A and B are shown apart, each in its own frame.
Chain A
Amino acid sequence: MIEGFDNIQWHYLFNPELAYDSLPLLLEGLQITIIIAFSSMFFSLILGLVVAIMRMSRFKIFDLPARLYISFMRGTPLLVFIFILYYGLPVIGIQFTNPIVAGIVGMSLNFAAYNAEVIRSAISSVSRGQWEAAQSLQMSYIQILRRIILPQATRIALPPIFNIFMDIVKGTSLASVITVHELLYSARIVAGRTYESMTMYVAAALIYWAVCIIIGFFQQRLEKRYSRYLYTR
Chain B
Amino acid sequence: MIKLEAIEKSFADTTVLTGIDFEVDKGEVVCLIGPSGSGKTTLLRCLNGLEIPESGRITINGDSIAFSHKQKKYPINNLRRHTGMVFQGFHLFPHKTVLENLIEAPLIVKKQKRAPLVKQAEELLNKVGLLEHRNKYPDQLSGGQMQRAAIARALMMEPDVMLFDEPTSALDPQLVREVLKVIETLAKEGQTMVIVTHEMHFAKKVADRVLFMDHGVIIEEGPAENILVNPEKEATQDFLQLLVDE
A-side residues, CB < 8 A to B, are 127, 129-130, 132-140, 143, 147-148, 151-152, 155, 229-231
By beta carbon, the residue of chain A nearest B50 is A132
Contact of A132 among B81, B87, B94, B96 (CB under 8 A): B87
CA gap between A134 and B96 in the complex, in Å: 13
CA gap between A147 and B103 in the complex, in Å: 13
Number of A-B residue pairs with CB-CB distance less than 8 Å in the complex they form: 66
- Please name 16 further chain A to chain B contacts, defined as beta carbons within 8 Å, in addition to the given A133-B150, A147-B108, sorted by A numbering: A129-B91, A133-B91, A134-B93, A135-B49, A135-B80, A136-B48, A137-B80, A137-B104, A137-B105, A137-B154, A138-B157, A139-B105, A152-B94, A230-B94, A230-B137, A231-B139
CA gap between A155 and B85 in the complex, in Å: 27
Is B89 among interface residues, defined by CB-CB distance under 8 A?
yes
Contact of A143 among B96, B108, B157 (CB under 8 A): B108
B77 and A138 contact, CB distance less than 8 A: yes
B93 and A133 contact, CB distance less than 8 A: yes
CA gap between A139 and B91 in the complex, in Å: 14
- How many chain B residues sit at the interface, stated as a range, is 20 to 34
- Asked if A130 meets B154 with Cβ closer than 8 Å, knowing A138-B109, A147-B104, the reply is no
B-side residues, CB < 8 A to A, are 48-50, 77, 80-81, 83-85, 87, 89, 91-96, 104-105, 108-109, 137-140, 150, 153-154, 157
Q: Report chain B residues within 8 Å CB of A155.
A: 95
- Asked if A130 meets B93 with Cβ closer than 8 Å, knowing A137-B104, A231-B137, the reply is yes
A152 and B77 contact, CB distance less than 8 A: no
Q: Report chain B residues within 8 Å CB of A143.
A: 108-109
By beta carbon, the residue of chain A nearest B88 is A129
B81, B89, B150 interface centre (most CB from chain A within 10 Å) = B89
A139 and B139 contact, CB distance less than 8 A: no
Q: Report chain A residues within 8 Å CB of B80.
A: 135-138
Q: Report chain A residues within 8 Å CB of B83.
A: 136
Q: Report chain A residues within 8 Å CB of B92.
A: 133
A to B CB contacts below 8 Å, 26 in the list: A129-B89, A130-B91, A132-B87, A132-B91, A133-B92, A134-B105, A135-B49, A135-B50, A136-B80, A136-B154, A137-B80, A137-B104, A137-B105, A137-B109, A137-B157, A138-B80, A138-B81, A138-B105, A143-B109, A148-B93, A152-B94, A152-B95, A155-B95, A229-B96, A229-B138, A231-B137
Contact of A129 among B48, B87, B104 (CB under 8 A): B87
What are the 10 tightest A-B residue pairs by CB atom distance, in nearest-first order? Answer: A137-B105, A133-B91, A136-B85, A129-B91, A231-B139, A229-B137, A231-B140, A138-B109, A229-B95, A151-B95
Q: Report chain B residues within 8 Å CB of A136.
A: 48, 50, 80, 83-85, 154
Q: Report chain A residues within 8 Å CB of B138.
A: 229
Q: Report chain B residues within 8 Å CB of A148.
A: 93
CA gap between A172 and B188 in the complex, in Å: 68
B94 and A133 contact, CB distance less than 8 A: no
A230 and B139 contact, CB distance less than 8 A: yes
CA gap between A148 and B95 in the complex, in Å: 8
By beta carbon, the residue of chain A nearest B108 is A143
CA gap between A148 and B138 in the complex, in Å: 14
Q: Shortest Cβ distance from A65 into chain B, in angstroms?
A: 22
A130, A133, A230 interface centre (most CB from chain B within 10 Å) = A133
CA gap between A140 and B95 in the complex, in Å: 19
Q: Report chain A residues within 8 Å CB of B48.
A: 136
CA gap between A133 and B87 in the complex, in Å: 8
By beta carbon, the residue of chain A nearest B156 is A137
By beta carbon, the residue of chain A nearest B107 is A147
